[in-house]
Amino acid sequence: MGGAALIGAVLGTILFMEINRHVPDDWGWSADWAAWLMQADPVQAGYQLIDRNNPGLATEVNEDIRLDNAYADALHKCEDEATQTGKEQRCVLSVTPPQAR
Q: How far apart are CA 38 and CA 52, in angstroms?
A: 12
Nearest 5°: phi and psi at 85?
A: -85, -20
Name the residue with higher pLDDT: 11 or 30.
11
pLDDT tens digits for range 38-76: 888 888 888 888 888 899 998 998 888 888 888 899 989
CA 86, 88, 91, 95 dihedral sign is: positive
Please tell me the predicted confidence (pLDDT) of residue 23: 72
pLDDT tens digits for range 67-93: 888 889 998 999 999 999 999 989 888
**Side chain identity at 66, as an amino acid letter?**
R
Q: Give the CB-side neighbour count of residue 4, counting CA atoms within 13 A.
A: 1
Residue spans per domain, the chain: 26-84
